[in-house]
Every structure is written in C-alpha cells, then in structure tokens.
Chain A
C-alpha cells in the first residue's frame, strides 16, 4: 500500500512536470501562431519592452494572452469540477456539460440579453452563475435524494433531460427576441472574445474554487471510501458535501461565463488523471487542473490554426473529441439491470 502510494507520488511529480512544460510550450505556440504569425522576438518584446503604439504588441498582450489565460482557466475549472462531481455523486460520468449545468448558465445569459440588454458584464455573469447554480443544486438534489441508488446512467439521463428543458426555453427566448446570430456564437463555445475585464471578474472566483478544492482534497478521498467509513473516521460529511457543491457551482459557472457551454472536459481529464496518478484527490485535483488547462489550450490552438482566418468554435471540437470518449467510458461501465 505505502509502496503504491510512494509510487503514485513519484508518478504525480513526473506527470505534473511534463504537464507544466507542455503548457509552457502551448503558451509560446499560442503567442506566435494565429491569424498572423508573430516572431518569438516580438513576443518577447511585447512582454518586456511593451510599446502601446505597436499593433503586434497590443495583439499579443490584449488578444492572445487573455484568450490563452481564459483557456487555461476554463480547462482547469471544468476538470476539477468534474473530478469533484464524480467523487461526491458516485458517478464516474459526471461532467458539468453532460449534467446540464452549462445549459443553466446559457439560459442565464440569454435572459440577460433578452430582458436586460443594457446590463453590465458583472450582472451578466451573476445571472448566468445563478443559472448554473440552480442546475447544480438540482443535480445534487437528485443524486443525494437517491442515496447512491441512482445509477450513473440515470444521472446522465437526468442531466440530459434538464439540459433539453433549459435549452428549449433558451431557444424560445432566442426566437422570441431575434437573438439568433448573437447566440449561435455563444452557444457553440468560444474564448475568442475574452478581454481582461472578463478575467478580472473570473479569476478571484477561480482561485477561491481551486484553493478550497485542494484544501478539502483529503476529505474527498476519504468520502470516496463510502459515507459510513468517512463518518467513522471523523469526517464532517455534511460540511464536505456542501463545500464541494459550492466549488462545483463556482468553477462550472466561471468556465461557462468565459467560454460558453462546453461539455466532456470534466469527463475526460479526470478519467485520464486517475489513470496517471491513482485515486488520491490530493494528487488527482492538481493533475486535473494542469492537464485540463493544457487540453483546452491545445484544442484552441488547433481551432485557430487548422485553417488560418477561419475560427472553429472549440466547444464543438471538444464535443467531437468528447463523444467517442464518453462512449468508451460508457462501454466500460457495468450495465445496470433494472428491467426484466
């Protein structure tokens, strides 16, 4: 046991280092490549010898950098939220997109666009976070009301039902108010229009969510052994459950307001992370954060550069990568037999 633990810790250090190096590589590639090519020297100048009248410098600082940071934040948030959800709802297929949390946030955004068109960024983010929060609470209510008897499949189906309902309402409001083109961009998921102001609002919440999750990581590992065991070990399960619900809510909302509804990251990255470092949340959560950030930044890099000048929405690209993964995970699950 302790040998395995030590082994996992070594693996953790190795994988985290590799991950961070790759993020750094992604950073340089993102700064250099895009609609136009910018040489490494100019990127360096933009950071250390900034000249506000130089268009290239402004591009690097105010377009590429915030977008890259947005990708990192979104990837880390969604992966950590997914990992926590999977642990606390005992559902290996939990993910904020699949469970319908993103659709709640989208509905929030549409409500603001339709009924409070003059609203500021802060209100917009607040209402969409409220939408995400509503769905998160609903999901946890369903999960806890079933006392663990609800199978992963049924949780996924209830998530699907919730997102169908909310996106129906979203469509109704869009059609009613003629917001079609405005919304297609948003609902397909893109970080292209992120500006520093968005990040300034999102970062404190993001940081709070990540830090709290790492603080409670040990309790989450214990909780995973089963509620009775963790009570026996003296853990305050109610507190941990409440805290983890709030973390999931905050992190999902942060991701959704920056990028729009994106699914499957919270499914894929934790799955891969557990494969790399085992099941201890103290190791899993940081791994998730790094590799989630890496994944989204690479997909965004690809989305910008496959066909320069034409942007593919990364939400759609991620869905196309995520669905096969989802099917793979679903195939590995033991089926639940509830009928005949």
Chain B
C-alpha cells in the first residue's frame, strides 16, 4: 500500500506539476499549515456564531460558558440554542464537502457533486416520502440516515445505469446530465406527494428541499457525528487510491488499483456521507460543489489534504450562511440553504463560463 502511495505521489508530481520547486516535506508542511489556517477560520466563524443571535453574548462569556463556567442563562443560550445548530451546520458541511471531493475525483469532473448528480435529491425524496406517507413522526434517529442512504444509493444506481453505455468509457458529463434530469423527476414526485400533505408538513418539505438545518437535537447530531466519522475514516484511508484514480482509470489500473472495486467502494462512501448530511440538514444543493472547489485552490488536488480542507471550507460557508439567517432581520426563518445557493450560483456560472 505504502509503495503504491509513493509511486502515486511521484506520478502525481509528474503529472500535476508543482507550483514551486519544493521538497515533498516542505510542501506537506505548507499544505498542513493551510488546513490549520482554514480550521482557525472555522473556529472564528463558530465563535462569532455563538456570540450573535437572539440574546447576544460577549465573546468572553461564550468562551467561559464553553469551558463550563457559564451562568444559567448563558448555559441555556449556548448549549440549548446555538451549539446544536452550529454543530449540525459544521457536520453537514463536512459531509457534503468530503462527498463532493470523492465524486469529483472519481468522475474526473469538477462539476460533480451530490447536488448535480441527483444523489442528494434521491436521498431527500426518500426521506420526505417516508415523512409524508408512512410516519409523521421520526422516533428512531438512526432510521433517517439509513433511509436517506437507501434513496441515495438507488438514485446513484439509476444514474449510473442510464448515464453510461456498455463498452464505452464513463462519460462524467453524461452522468451529470442524467443526474440533473433525474433530480427534476424526483422533485416532481415530491410535489405530487405534497398534494396529500397539510400546511405544516408542506412547509417542512419546502424548507427541507431548500436546505434547512432542522435536526438540531443532540440525538440526531450524535448519530450524524458517528456516521460521518465512520465513513470519513474509510475515505481518508482510501485517499491515495482516489489520487490514483484521479490520474485516469488506466493509470490507476497500471498502478495496481482494482478500479472497479475502488470506484464502487468510494462511490458508496460518497453517497453515504451526503445522505446522512441530507437526512438531518436538508438539501444543500451547491455546498458539495463549491466547498471542494475553493479548497482545491487553497491546498491543491491531493485528496489526502483536499478531503479535510474541503470539509472545513464547506463548514465555514454553511456556518457563515447560518449567521446571516439568524441575525439579519429580514432573513430570519428562511432556510439556510438559500444563502448557500445565492453565494454559490454566481461562482458556479463563472466556473462554467471559464472552463468552456
């Protein structure tokens, strides 16, 4: 495994080139420092998020409370109101960002993401149908990500079947086109389901589809955390294989990677992470797309660094959007995902225009 890694790293250096002539150790250090810088940025945004909102707190009080020395009131504000939402936001960001990195790497296409491939739509359709038709109450928190995972896997399978042709190389654009179209189809099915719903369920689903951080109970957050840690662990362990695939399927095969197996395994991990995020955080359409993009500009395209960097970047974006939603008066009570879209779409269009 280690030897493959070294060969991959060398091949990577050869094919991708380095911006500056640096020793691997120096580059490693520079990238780690950049990830640390991103993490510090996330910490800052997180603390700002703790401070602002209804019942604003001083930064000193926030730190004190987090360290366990808060007053009754500040404890309540932080631990009951702010922290659950912020933790959920950070986790959803991580899940979508990491999932996007894997999908973009697997398909060699910077436009792939849980949103554009329709996987997130599949997950959310499954969960919303369950909420709408089977059970109005979700008692078992573990059930949600499992349902979302089933939905995500089914839609990934459909997209793969429809978007590829036998005997022809995988065309990522075809997959994305199919994903976009199937996303529209799932949306239509979900709208049909809306006809049997009452007003409050209708609002719940609309919010969900726009991306709303709703699963703000500690039991949900715990499930999401464990889920992402497990899937993330395997993703990081296989980052080098993803690097090899990123060089091209043939090169990866030449490097001794079982491409078929690796492709399905990594795709499973990507769908798993996006599904859990969708289950508790709603459908943040573009988050899994722009997070990895921005991160790639910062740390380069080596997956070992890109995975954590993209996770942190996406978290920063969603926490920042959340601060806007909580604090600007006109925006209060609007799904957080809308801000992610407003932020991301111009950037996405720019990407499309530039790369043409």
| A interface, CB within 8 angstroms of B | 93, 142, 145-146, 149-151, 153-154, 156-158, 160-162, 164-165, 168-169, 171-172, 174-176, 180-181, 184, 187-188, 263, 312-313, 316, 319-320, 323, 326-327, 330-331, 333, 335-340
| Residues B356 and A150 in contact, CB atoms below 8 Å apart | yes
A161, A181, A330 interface centre (most CB from chain B within 10 Å): A161
**Is A180 a contact of B203 with CB atoms below 8 Å?**
yes
Separation of A263 and B286 alpha carbons in the complex (Å): 22
Is B334 among interface residues, defined by CB-CB distance under 8 A? yes
The answer to whether A175 touches B199, judged by C-beta atoms less than 8 angstroms apart, is: no
Closest 9 pairs (CB-CB, A-B): A335-B171, A165-B345, A323-B185, A319-B188, A168-B341, A330-B177, A150-B356, A168-B338, A340-B108
**Contact partners of B163 in chain A: CB under 8 A:** 327, 330-331
Check if B320 is an interface residue, CB within 8 A of chain A.
Answer: no
Contact among A151, A164, A187 for B341, CB-based, below 8 A = A164
B99 within 8 Å of A (CB atoms):
no
Inter-chain contacts of A327 with B (CB < 8 A): 162-163, 177-178, 181-182
Taking the nearest CB of chain B, how far is it from the CB of A230, in angstroms?
22
Residues of A within 8 A of B335 (CB): 171-172, 175
Collect the chain A residues with CB atoms within 8 Å of residue B177's CB: 93, 153, 156, 326-327, 330, 333
- Write 20 A-B pairs (CB below 8 A) sorted by A numbering: A153-B176, A154-B355, A154-B356, A157-B176, A161-B286, A161-B349, A161-B352, A164-B285, A164-B341, A165-B341, A171-B335, A175-B333, A188-B191, A313-B191, A327-B162, A327-B182, A330-B181, A331-B165, A339-B172, A340-B247
B184 within 8 A of A: yes
A-contacting residues, B117-155, CB 8 Å = none
Chain B residues with CB under 8 Å of A331's CB are 162-163, 165, 174
A187 to chain B, nearest CB (A): 8
Min CB distance A54 to B, Å, is 33
In the bound assembly, the distance between CA atoms of A154 and B349 in angstroms comes to: 9
Q: Complex Cα distance A162/B180, Å?
A: 13
Residue B63 is within 8 A (CB to CB) of chain A in the complex: no
Contacts A162-B345, A319-B184 aside, 16 further interface pairs with beta carbons under 8 A come to A93-B177, A154-B355, A157-B116, A158-B349, A161-B345, A168-B342, A169-B342, A172-B338, A180-B199, A180-B202, A319-B187, A323-B181, A323-B185, A335-B174, A338-B173, A339-B108
Give the distance to chain B from A324, nearest Cβ to Cβ, in Å.
8
Total number of A-B contacts with CB less than 8 angstroms? 138
B329 to chain A: closest CB distance in Å? 11
Query: Does more than half of chain A's interface fall in helix, strand or loop, or is it mixed?
Result: helix
Q: Is B309 an interface residue (CB 8 A)?
A: no
B207, CB-defined interface residue at 8 Å: yes
Tell me, rounded to whole Å, the shortest Cβ–Cβ distance linking B287 to chain A: 12
Residues of A within 8 A of B162 (CB): 327, 331
Q: Measured between C-beta atoms, what is the minimum distance from B127 to chain A in Å?
A: 18
Cα(A161)–Cα(B199), bound, Å: 28
Expressed in whole angstroms, the Cα–Cα distance for A157 and B345 within the complex equals 11
Interface residue? B206 (CB, 8 A): yes
In the assembled complex, the CB of B311 is this many whole angstroms from the nearest CB of chain A, namely 22
Complex CA–CA separation, A158 to B350 (angstroms): 9
Q: Is the CB of B248 within 8 A of A340?
A: yes
Residues of chain A contacted by B180 (CB below 8 angstroms): 156-157, 160
- Cα distance, A175 to B195, chains bound together (Å): 18
Contact A164 to B286, CB < 8 A, known contacts A172-B335, A339-B108, A340-B248: yes
Contact across chains for B181 and A174 when beta carbons are under 8 A apart = no
